[in-house]
Structure formats: structure tokens, C-alpha cells
Amino acid sequence: MISICIPIYNFHVYNLVIELQKQANFINAKYEIICIDDCSDLQYVQANNIILDLPCVTYIKLQENIGRSKIRNLLATKANYENLLFIDCDSKIIKDDYLEKFINSIGNNNVIYGGRIHSSTIPKDKSFYLRWLYGIKREDVPCETRKLDTYLSFKTNNFLISKKVFLNIKLNESIKGYGHEDTLFALQLKDNKIPLIHIDNSLVHIGLETAEEFLRKTREAIKNLEFISSEFSNIISEIKVLRVYCKMKKYKLTSFMKFIHPTLNFFLKKNLLSNSPKLFLFDIYKLSFLFYYSK
């Protein structure tokens, strides 16, 4: 028995839901699919109404946006079954035995992460190139490599967890906007000695953002990272950009970084919004904003 939980924001989910139903019916699984829309634009809310008439599907539409952490916590409370499979709405299933693999992995209160990949085809629209490049180079980590850094390789896009374990920890709702709620959740799993298992069962991320939107969301993520590091100091040693940030602070470079931030940001953004962005400059962009947001 499995509850498939899909948080929705500005994305069409019909194809994803139909594929999950097909796979669940093929293996005679007892399942439910719970979709909660986090106050998407009206066009997406209306388009997704098509799933209302599908069997074993619940579609809930929120009147205000509650954010990435809170909506996943809400999904867990709505679930009727003990095993929860969280899937991001902008995902595509590429394996016929995707659901079966997760169901066969259930047991002993483990958390099971399946992974994420991106299409190998370069986007025709160059405005999506930075997000695609970051996905290919930084997020598409093979299962065996993920196992080497078990907890920090975790994302919330594609994982199985028992309802009891999830509700005991939950995603931290004080983290607003985009980014790093999964980082903190993984470290809480680690602190609670809850095993995290990696399997080769990736979903394709198909919801690429434009470079402009990706940079905006990155700034939100850096704000969250700054907040998390101030509240949970044990995270600092785990995150590379925080280690560099703390080392530079130790050498009293905070004032200098704040001073050069406007000029540095101008030149970094010029490259990152171009057709040939460099990921090492993207790393400097994140570091610069970490200083900018620091108290």
C-alpha cells in the first residue's frame, strides 16, 4: 500500500498521474495519488482539473501559496497509507518498472532516494541553457556516486519514506521560498540515525527555468542557506560554499565582499545570462550573495 504525493506549482501533471496509474495497476498495487496545488496560475489549475475524475486520485487546490516545505508536510497528513512516495510535479517517468522498484524497496523505516537526471539534449531555447547545464553537471549524479555522500546527495524530488518517520521529522516550515529544505531534512535524518538508501530509479527533470528565473531562485536558496547555517551550525562543514564563506570571514573579508558585490554581481550576471555561462562563475555568484545576505 502506497500513497503517492505530488505537490503542484505551475505545471501540468496529467501525463505523470496517468503513467503512475498504469504502473500501479500493472503490478496490482494498492495505491492512492494525492495532488495538492500550491496556488498555481489559473491556467494550470484549470488544466489539471482533468485528473479529478481519475480513480484513486485526490486533487486539492489551495487558495494561497504555502511553500515547498509546508505543502509536503500537508501531503503527508492527507495520506491514508503508511508508505509515502514524494514526486515533484515537473518530473517524467522513463522506466516501466519505476513504481515496482520503489515498492520492492520498502522496509525497516529506511528512506529511499531514486535520483534525478536531465535530458542529454541541449535546449533549443538558450534561455534555459544555464539551468540545463547545472542539472547535467551538478545534479545528475549516478547512484554509486550518490552512495559516497549519502545524506547530502538527497533531494525531495523522488523519495520513499514511511509516514511515521516523515511526520516525526517533517520539513522545516520556517524555511521560506526555494531551496535547501531538503538539505536540512537530510541532515535531520542523519542526526536521527535513519538509514538513507540510494537506488538507481531516477526521474527526468523536465521543468527547466529560464536563467533569469533560476538566478532568482538561487538567491532565495542562498537566503535559506544563510538562515540554516545561523540556526544549525553543524551544517557548515557539510556544504562547500559555507566552508569557503566561513574561511573568508575568518580572514576578515566580509566588508570587502559586501563592497564589491554590486560590481561583481553585474559582471557575473552578464555571463550567467549569456549563451555560454560558466558554472565556476555561478559558484562565485552564490558566494557573493551569501556575503550580501549575511548579518
pLDDT in tens, 37-76: 999 999 999 999 999 999 999 999 999 999 999 999 999 9
Give the pLDDT of residue 83: 96
Give the pLDDT of residue 141: 95
Give the pLDDT of residue 290: 93
Give the pLDDT of residue 119: 96
CA 287/CA 74 separation, integer angstroms: 33
Taking 90 as the threshold, does the pLDDT of residue 233 lie above it? no
What are 235-281's pLDDT values in tens digits? 777 788 999 999 999 999 999 999 999 999 999 999 999 999 999 99
Taking 80 as the threshold, does the pLDDT of residue 234 lie above it? no
What are 163-214's pLDDT values in tens digits? 999 999 999 888 877 878 898 899 899 989 999 999 999 999 999 999 999 9
- Identify the CATH number of the domain defined by range 2-132+141-207: 3.90.550.10
Give the pLDDT of residue 225: 86
Give percent above pLDDT 90 in the chain.
83
* DSSP 8-state symbol, 152: T
Give percent above pLDDT 70 in the chain.
98
Contacts of 99 (CB under 8 A, 6+ apart): 2, 20, 23, 24, 27, 29, 85
Give start and end residues of each alpha helix (H) in 153-210: 163-169, 181-191
Which residues belong to CATH 3.90.550.10 in the chain? 2-132+141-207
Give the pLDDT of residue 177: 75
Contacts of 195 (CB under 8 A, 6+ apart): 108, 109, 110, 111
Angle value at C-alpha 148, between 144 and 152, nearest 5 degrees: 110
Taking 80 as the threshold, does the pLDDT of residue 231 lie above it? no
Output the average pLDDT for the chain.
94
Beta partners for 32?
3
Give the pLDDT of residue 236: 72
Torsion of CA 24, 160, 39, 167, to 10 degrees: 130
Residue 221 vs residues 102, 152, 180, 195, 287: alpha-carbon distances, Å: 29, 15, 6, 26, 12
Give the pLDDT of residue 90: 97
Q: In 3D, which of 66, 2, 1, 78 has the Cα closest to residue 35? A: 78
Give the pLDDT band of residue 284 (cuts 50, 70, 90).
Answer: very high
Taking 80 as the threshold, does the pLDDT of residue 215 lie above it? yes
